[in-house]
Amino acid sequence: MNFLQSLLSSIRPPAWVVAELQNRVLLFLNHVLQQEPVAQERLRRQQGKPVLLQWGDFHFVFAASAAGLLERAGPEQQPELKVMLVQTSPLALAQRLLAGDKPAVEVQGDVQLAADLAWLIDNVRWDPEEDLARLIGDAPAHTLARLARAAAQAVKVFAARLPPGVRPAAPTANDPTARTPDAGNSGT
């Protein structure tokens, strides 16, 4: 298992692949945000404030646009909010996400920006069934969505049944990787 984790953490894609992946993520997030006028209004209030999302060596800097959507921020811009994923193992992070848990993060910077970002994470959801219904109709989309939910539930059950040596242990109060400090940490 350690060999697999070290292999996954040593893989470094070319810069153009990372940039294209970030562009695709932004396109998807903006598609979801366009369905939520309240979310767009919250983002308009934070226009131009760069946010750094970091996980190990990978980082992604984005900002809210005047339209209430997301755009890549320039590398010269200093982030007003830093969100660092604490979990270093890609496998453990994937298992945590599959189990439906939020990853542990450290947050530093603008408190209001952090609060608006947290609100978006907690309240904005993609409705794949609605998007699919536009393409193939309501009934087939509902059937496919039901099958996808059943498959997702099966994956969650499988992840929960993994032996303790394979799945990440439940976080404890003394576990430094389980910290989720509040956004009150100041300093940009």
Length of the chain: 188
> Would 25 be classed as within a structural domain?
yes
Report the candidate in 166, 176, 11, 56 with the shortest Cα–Cα distance to residue 104.
Answer: 176
> Would 110 be classed as within a structural domain?
yes
Angle between helices 37-45 and 15-33 (to 10 degrees): 120
Give CA 70 to chain center in angstroms: 14
> Would 142 be classed as within a structural domain?
no
For 30, the token pair is: 């903006």
> Would 164 be classed as within a structural domain?
no
> Would 162 be classed as within a structural domain?
no
> Would 112 be classed as within a structural domain?
yes
> Would 37 be classed as within a structural domain?
yes
Can you give the pLDDT at residue 179?
A: 44
Sheet with 58-64: list strands edge to edge: 70-72, 58-64, 51-55, 81-85, 105-109
Can you give the pLDDT at residue 186?
A: 41
β-bridge mates for residue 41, sequence order: none
For 160, the token pair is: 């929960």
> Would 20 be classed as within a structural domain?
yes
- At residue 81, φ and ψ (nearest 5 deg) are -140, 135
Give pLDDT tens digits along the chain (188 positions).
Answer: 566 556 656 778 888 998 899 999 999 999 999 999 999 999 999 999 999 999 887 889 999 999 999 999 987 889 999 999 888 777 777 777 777 778 888 999 999 999 999 999 888 888 877 878 888 888 888 888 888 888 878 887 887 787 765 554 454 444 444 444 444 444 43
Number of domains in the chain: 1
Q: Output the domain CATH number for residue 23.
A: 3.30.1050
Range of the domain at 50: 2-127+171-178
